[in-house]
Amino acid sequence: MTTTRTRKRRDTAFPEDDRIAKFLHEAMLPEHAAEARHFVKLCRDSLFVRTWLFERFATKPATQAAFRKLLADPANIASNAPLWSPLVTRLVLSEPSPQAGGEGPHGGLSEARILALIKRYQGGGMDAMTFLLVRLWTRLAASGRTDVPAAFLDAITAHWTALASDPSGRLVHDFLRAVHFFSERSEQVIGEADFGHANSWKIHVLLYILDYPKVRYQVGELHDNLPVKYRHVDRRAIRQFCKEHGIRRDQRPGERPALADDSGALKASRDD
């Protein structure tokens, strides 16, 4: 008599299935439960938040009242409200400086605006936000850090929304280009050679403006402080560059300072 054995079917579990299952579990939670989980995670991850919660918020009625006011009407909370230390309160309540056409210390532009322009030219035509986020993410991964810094969360969420909502596919294309750009250079210092000649002189101009803040700049000053290899750039191109980005020019006649040496000693790490 022949006995037929029935073999048990073994399902293959893929790591991706676990990630999807974890996400679906989170996604199916009621909103209040998901929010509470995030709050617990924040408290566990942040010694600062835990200390403030138990030692200040829990014991000081004035902090509780100020925090309620902050939640209800953040625009009208005083900078000296008894929330945190004066410095931390000022930082928490701070807003970005005007990005263009303002009274920034760099030819009318803020430091953040100058840095944004540097990233734009380093990206060489790629979407600047995509380029910047991929750069930050590769540095984060290289450091071994596994959690996402709190300062990145809003930007990552907004950019993911933009990527998924872009019917042209341009942002996705730029994302892949940025990943390829940085993965090719993962074992080397990224410098001006990686950004191309046409963009590198503009990056040097912006780095000079960043390092030497003033109300306005003479075109000759910006030209004379370029590295020697970029001094063939026509001054009209520098003038047009300043005009395009709203960098104020000093058109009065006078002596032009030369603050960088002939080697154009703007460190490669500043380009990175």
217-229 pLDDT per residue, tens: 999 999 999 999 8
Question: pLDDT tens digits for 142-166?
Answer: 888 888 888 888 899 999 999 999 9
Lowest-pLDDT range of 2-11, 21-30, 257-266 = 257-266
% pLDDT > 70, the chain? 85
- Whether pTM > 0.85 for this model: the answer is no
Question: pLDDT tens digits for 23-70?
Answer: 888 889 899 999 999 999 999 999 999 999 999 999 999 999 999 999
Place 260 in a pLDDT band, splitting at 50, 70 and 90: very low
Question: pLDDT tens digits for 124-142?
Answer: 889 999 999 999 888 888 8
- Which long-range CB contacts under 8 A does 121-128 form with residues at least 24 apart? 121/195, 121/199, 121/202, 121/203, 121/206, 122/195, 122/199, 122/203, 122/271, 123/178, 124/195, 124/196, 124/199, 126/174, 126/177, 126/178, 126/181, 127/170, 127/171, 127/174
Place 4 in a pLDDT band, splitting at 50, 70 and 90: low
Domain boundaries, the chain: 17-93, 125-193, 195-271
